Structure 1
Amino acid sequence: MPLKGVFIEKLAIDKRYFITGEKIAIIGKSGSGKSTLLLLLVGMLRYSGSLKYGIKNFEDSLSVVLQNMTLRKGSVLENLEWDADNLEPLYQVLKDTSADEVIAQLPNKIHSKLLKQGKNLSGGQIQKMLIAKSLLKKNSIIFWDEAFSNLDEQSKNRIYLNILQNSQYSERTMLIISHHLDIVDYVDYVIYIDNETGDVYKDTHINLMESNENYRNFINSKI
């Protein structure tokens, strides 16, 4: 069934479609409105009314990794916005996101200085750090927009298993835009934006493959 609470043209959303702890992939053809929906939700596009998550404003509950986000000049700890007196939770998240591999290559580890825009790191290393930062913030909702675009297969799969299928993050609601369609096998639900019909669907990958011809054709065209 299409989600009648979500209208890309009107940029409105019904909060009931996002349940605490759900891991959701947002997919669709280029130009279907995936990033527009995400920018609306994170408050970077104007909309009328207000979005709530529980009793909080939606934006106050968010950790976000958007396309082309980068790091700032400063230490690793400063970029991660983490207290040096409490390192155990930090190291666990770094391991889960493969960012520990980035830290291991730096001369002074978590105390190493990063250049402006993270210019002494690769694109994939920056993404690992940003993903780790989004998890360290402890916000209840996490949005990743093409956050895996520069990651190698091993690192990407490690994040799939360590984050999306890890009970440690079971209370975190995650919405993920990715052109890596293998993610549909690791999330609870898929939001499919069909730019041919204008409908938006939310269901499991298996159900969509069985019931939605456009979704099935889209997935099969990428295999």
Structure 2
Amino acid sequence: MKKLIIILMALIAYSTQMLADKVSFTASAPDAVIVGDQFRLSYTVTTQKVKDFRAPSIKGFDVLMGPSRSQQSNTQIVNGNVTSTSSITFTYILMANNAGEYTIPGASIIADGDQMVSNSVRIKVLPQDQGGSNSSSSSSTHSSSGTGVSNQDLFITASASKTNVYEQEAFVLTYKIYTRESNLQLNNAKLPDFKGFHSQEIEMTTNARWTPEHYQGRNYYTTVYRQFVLFPQQSGKLYIDP
């Protein structure tokens, strides 16, 4: 019995090591950028035994630099167990030229003797502000001038998944924040009482994920702030206060 337990423990340890040694090859880039912005496109492989990295055809963007190659390694000791990880990253600096949605195909590489292909990345390129400057430059100018924030630089929108429903029929109300500042700290905002509705708040993740969005001719950083499931308690026209 003791011998069987030892064999099982050895098999578990071997399986764990095999999972830890599994090589991955992934591509990463921003989900959205603005025309004229520079950004990074990175390909990371979790081993240092690599050769023949081949990038795809990158259409719709100017390649300003790359590929640059960097190596990372890390060793951790937890409860006497030593775990080592290593990776190599190939990085490009790109610039967006025209608004639209673009897909960059996967790159290929030989890692640990095996041919691998990364995932493709999809990037949405937003137009510049109608004034000709993007959101990041407007934000930095606004911050350095020290002037107050206007209603066009920071606001909240409310949208309903349905506008015509039956009594007790559920729909989702979403509050979304638009800001010109990329490092906005969220505080609790005063929301309406939802008179005429029964409400249940949808639990959100603790960390807000800000993404660029082109809205009414300007670029903003946006995130979903709060969401509620509402159930109308009576028929007729009901209004949600701002």
TMscore range, shorter length:
under 0.3
Rg (Cα) greater in structure: 2
TM-score by length of 2: 0.20
More strand by share: 2
More helix by share: 1
TM-score by length of 1: 0.21
The structure with higher relative contact order (CA 8 Å, sep 6+) is 1
